[in-house]
Amino acid sequence: MKRALLSLAFVALGSMALAEPFVWPSTWTTAEPGEAVYGGNLRMYDIGDVRTFNPIISAESTTSRDLIMLTGASLMTLPPDSDVWIPYAAESVEMSEDGTVMDVTLREGLKWSDGTDITVDDYYFRYQAETDPDVGSNGYDSWFIEGEIIQMEITGERSMRFTFPLPDRTAFPVVGSHIPAPDHILGEIYREGGAEALQAAWGLDVNVADTVWSSPFVPTEFSSNERLVLEKNEYFGEWNVDEEGNALPYLDRITFELTGDQDAALNLYLAGEIDMFNPRNLDDIGVINVAIQNGDIDAIVLENMSPVASSQFIVFNWNLASDPWKQDLFRNADFRRAMSHLVNREAIVELVYGGAAEPMWSNVYQVLDYWVDPEVPTFPFDPEAALELLEGIGFTQRNSNGFLVDADGNELGFRLVTNSGATAREQIVQIFADAAREVGVNVQVQTLDFNLMVEQLTTVGEDRPFEAILIGLTGGSRDWPFGVNVIPCGTNLHMWNQDPSGECIAPQETEASQLYYQGRQTLDTEEAREIGYQIQRALADIQPVIYTVSPSAHYSWRTHVRGEHPEDMISDLLGSREYELTFLAQ
């Protein structure tokens, strides 16, 4: 079988082979040779509390969670200066000519933070857990193509094989982002107690110092809604070095203040109590610049570096058996189109983001501009158009409170939830609710703890516990930016329809699901983009998710924080730095 080979060199001395570490390129940082120093505590913040320390079932995205769970011994990595996946924890990767078989050889010398060797068993255990539907892993859907599983098998002491049922343009992201889970701890729990025991493992009651990780920093202290402390993983540096051979990471510690909201985080930054802050808008930037000019803090500010690699949207619950009237309403495409016409995106751009944002119309983040359909259907702010659509589905009268009602007197209204402490989201829902009430839609705004809101959103059933939620997604791939667990019906973040049957309800849902798999199997990128355009048009037509705006990404950090990316490499897709290469100037 002919193969395309990606490999890293190894060094041999006589008959012995030395494990060659992964060398982090100097082009990924602005640091000069010899400038980086060891030590220090980087002080950061998160607005959300930790929901679980279990890497198998964790689904939410926060900076601290991603740093623990999405870094570490992934088989490959996508460099910040390239679109080509390269071996990372893997020593070599071989892909068959037909793109259906990938052989991976694991690098020698990989270790968990407790000093135990990382082996192929750890990767295989995670695969087993993620493909067990009873576990309910967020990674479950990525291992299937049109219902057929991607097979993983151990083929040797350091080798494994992934066999795809069909050609897959996401083969490298699927395999490359595969991170091990500790078979000697979580695997034992799974084998002894099954899915239920694994789900219960490493919850908030765990002593975090007893958890083990492959990441550069590991949790050692945690106080809910207060603080999370990560310490350097001393074993990480045995297989990760800079170009001068220095073990990584440089930092001793990263401390996250769990602030609860962004205003509190900004106040901590202005007081010099945290070292980094991502401004939400130009108002934040203005406040920071004033503090710099007054000599209160010594900091760097970067404005409008890219659109954000995330979305903010309203989603309605199509599974509301306890209220058949509202369930039918939320499933009505004209209702959702009307609601989209009531999202004043221009006002959100100006009032929430100070002009540093743009309207968003499809499920592809603006930062992935190659994939964004320029002809996707749009629903600009137009209260008259919204009223016309609502009249067309029977809302032609008003009650004594001024709200629209149907012929049976049912009042048009719903409860819209977003997470407390997310200031921008709270402002967005209020702008929308005010516009909706103006035309007679009784929108009741409520804020909830983020973890509780995520739990409601991801509930599977015929009667799910919410009406409408404003939330966002992050993630997505430069290879195929359509969520494997979002677009196809029956997947765990197909948020509007989580019926236990996994079946589609609307024809456009079915069309988008079919197109998703067609595009995923299309290896020619231009052809895949055209299919991606069709996905965006099918879903935008019925608005199962009503997108709001795409803000610009801004960054600020105190000047003693070094090791950032070169400025032309900084974007919300890539971030401002690799934390493995970050250091504090003395």
| One domain, residues 252 and 375 | no
| One domain, residues 429 and 350 | yes
Q: What's the confidence (pLDDT) of residue 478?
A: 84
| One domain, residues 249 and 356 | no
Per-residue pLDDT in tens (0 to 9) along the chain, 586 residues: 323 333 222 222 222 233 689 999 999 999 999 999 999 999 999 987 888 899 998 876 677 777 777 788 999 999 998 889 999 999 999 999 888 999 999 999 999 999 999 999 999 999 999 999 999 998 899 999 988 999 999 999 999 999 999 999 999 999 999 999 999 999 999 999 999 999 999 999 999 999 999 999 999 999 998 999 999 999 999 999 999 999 999 999 999 999 988 899 999 999 999 999 999 989 999 999 999 999 999 999 999 999 988 889 999 999 999 999 999 999 999 999 999 999 999 999 999 999 999 999 999 999 999 999 999 999 999 999 999 999 999 999 999 999 999 999 999 999 999 998 888 999 999 999 999 999 999 999 999 988 899 899 999 999 999 999 999 988 777 889 998 889 999 998 999 999 999 999 999 999 999 999 999 999 999 999 999 999 999 999 999 999 999 999 999 999 999 999 999 999 988 899 999 999 999 8
178 within domain boundaries:
yes
CB atoms within 10 A of CB 575: 18
Identify the CATH number of the domain in which residue 431 sits.
3.10.105.10
| One domain, residues 185 and 118 | yes
Nearest to residue 106, comparing CAs of 95, 83, 122? 122
318 within domain boundaries:
yes
Nearest to residue 535, comparing CAs of 549, 515, 517? 515
38 within domain boundaries:
no
Is the bond leading into 249 cis (omega within 30 degrees of zero)? yes
| One domain, residues 410 and 445 | yes
DSSP 368-381: SGGG--TT-----S
Nearest to residue 402, comparing CAs of 349, 373, 440? 440
11 within domain boundaries:
yes
For residue 95, what is the enclosing H or E element?
strand 90-96
| One domain, residues 23 and 49 | yes
Identify the CATH number of the domain in which residue 17 sits.
3.90.76.10
496 within domain boundaries:
no
184 within domain boundaries:
yes
Q: What's the confidence (pLDDT) of residue 19?
A: 60
Q: How far is CA 426 from CA 260, 421, 446, 535, 550, in A?
A: 13, 8, 9, 30, 16
| One domain, residues 79 and 156 | yes
| One domain, residues 58 and 181 | yes
**Length of the chain counted residue by residue:** 586
Q: Are 27 and 569 in contact (CB under 8 A)?
A: no
| One domain, residues 440 and 570 | no
Q: What is the pTM of this model?
A: 0.85
Identify the CATH number of the domain in which residue 246 sits.
3.40.190.10
Classify burial at 179, counting beta carbons within 10 Å of its beta carbon; exposed 0-12, middle 13-18, buried 19 or more: buried
Backbone φ, ψ for residue 421 (5° rounding): 90, -15
| One domain, residues 450 and 324 | yes
| One domain, residues 145 and 244 | no
| One domain, residues 267 and 147 | no
What is the span of the domain harbouring residue 367?
313-473+542-550
The count of domains in the chain is 3
Q: How far apart are CA 291 and CA 432, in angstroms?
A: 33
Contacts of residue 85, defined as CB under 8 A and 6 or more positions apart, other chains included, come to: 6, 76, 77, 78, 93, 172, 173, 176
Q: What's the confidence (pLDDT) of residue 572?
A: 87
Q: What's the confidence (pLDDT) of residue 69?
A: 73
